[in-house]
């Protein structure tokens, strides 16, 4: 089965462990890609603001909060622990960080040639687990 610990480094590579606060970015003040506009009460956002962190800064005390956020809001929604192939779930979940959960699941369902509901239901998990990326 796939493991969250192998997925999280992809998030770090894409979102970077850094505070961003670009006035031209619709996401506003962000912690490792977690937007204060979308998640104003998220613990990572609150802690970074409490610490007074500014654009380009980072504090390692945020790492467990960031890891928890992406586990809850990405990995668990995609039922990552139930997917056999790490590469497949990494692709689905990592894409979802940028395009959204439902569109990413719909893309996976399209590849699996099943109804595109945008919900990671039992049928979707089963079909994903039948995929062989090396075939």
The share of the chain scoring above pLDDT 90, in percent, equals 87
pLDDT class of 131 with cuts at 50, 70, 90? confident
Across the range 16-43, mean pLDDT stands at 94
Gap between the Cα atoms of 49 and 84, Å rounded? 38
The alpha carbon of residue 45 and the mean position of all alpha carbons in its chain are separated, in whole angstroms, by 16
pLDDT class of 125 with cuts at 50, 70, 90? very high
In what order do the strands lie in the sheet containing 34-35?
19-20, 30-31, 34-35
The string over 79-92, giving b where at least 16 C-beta atoms fall within 10 Å of a residue's C-beta and e elsewhere, is bbeebebeebbbbb
Across the range 14-32, mean pLDDT stands at 92
Provide the residue count of the chain.
135
pLDDT class of 134 with cuts at 50, 70, 90? low
């Amino acid at each position: 089965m796939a493991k969250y610990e192998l997925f999280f480094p992809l998030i770090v590579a894409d979102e970077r462990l850094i505070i961003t606060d670009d006035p031209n970015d619709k996401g506003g003040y962000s912690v490792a890609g977690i937007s204060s506009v979308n998640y104003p009460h998220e613990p990572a956002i609150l802690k970074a603001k409490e610490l007074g962190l500014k654009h380009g800064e980072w504090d390692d005390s945020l790492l467990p909060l960031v890891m928890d956020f992406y586990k809850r809001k990405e990995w668990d929604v995609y039922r990552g622990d139930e997917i056999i192939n790490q590469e497949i779930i990494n692709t689905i979940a990592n894409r979802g960080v940028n395009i959204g959960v439902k569109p990413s699941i719909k893309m996976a369902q399209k590849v699996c040639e099943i109804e595109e509901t945008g919900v990671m239901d039992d049928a979707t998990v089963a079909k994903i687990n039948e995929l062989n990326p090396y075939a």
